Amino acid sequence: MIRRWRDRGRRNDPEPPPPAAPTANRREYRISLATTLPGIKLARRITVTVLTSWGVPPRTGVHDAAVLAVTELAANTVRHAALLSPSFELLLAAADDLDVGVRDNHPDLLELPPPDGTGGLATLADLAHSLGGRLALEPDPGGGKTVHVLLPLTTPVQEKQS
């Protein structure tokens, strides 16, 4: 079943997608989902499955943070962009870092929360920062935006105090 989801977007595409930036072990997964409550649940399940298949163990900080990020970003899309964006795109990519993104077609760009902000995006920003990552916003030239949560796949070695 996972193979069907992975190959779903490629069946009718005569040309392969352009290659990503040259990284030997880069993996990428994209899928378009309905901007509905079941779309959120499906995005979550797909994220768990894809990350686990990529070797990101469940119940670890990065895995759980990525699933939380997908849930929050997809929920924000359903809550705030559903009228102008009937679908959203889930983006998962891994190389040295894990990139979790949700793209919608709503023309309004949101502002990233300040460091002492409140709300779901501020919580994601704090969580990403605590794991050595960050929250980023990428405007789409054709309208819309992608909100990314970038997380390191390896925990930085903490230096010992002497």
What's the average model confidence in pLDDT over 138-160? Answer: 78
CATH superfamily of 26-152: Histidine kinase-like ATPase, C-terminal domain (3.30.565.10)
What residue ranges do the domains of the chain occupy? Answer: 26-152
Per-residue pLDDT reduced to its tens digit, 11-54: 444 444 444 454 568 899 999 999 999 999 999 999 999 999 99
What's the average model confidence in pLDDT over 92-119? Answer: 87
For residue 129, give both structure tokens.
Answer: 């920062």
| Whether pTM exceeds 0.85 | no
What pLDDT shows up at residue 34? 95
For residue 1, give both structure tokens.
Answer: 């079943």
Per-residue pLDDT reduced to its tens digit, 45-62: 999 999 999 999 999 999
Q: Which residue has the higher pLDDT, 112 or 155?
A: 112
Query: Which of 1, 93, 97 is closest to 47 using CA atoms?
Result: 93
Q: Model confidence at 93, in pLDDT bands (50, 70, 90)?
A: very high
The CA distance from 23 to 41, in Å, is: 31
What's the average model confidence in pLDDT over 152-159? Answer: 60
- DSSP secondary structure letter of residue 1: -
DSSP string, 79-106: HHHTTT-SEEEEEEEESSEEEEEEEE--
The CA distance from 145 to 156, in Å, is: 30
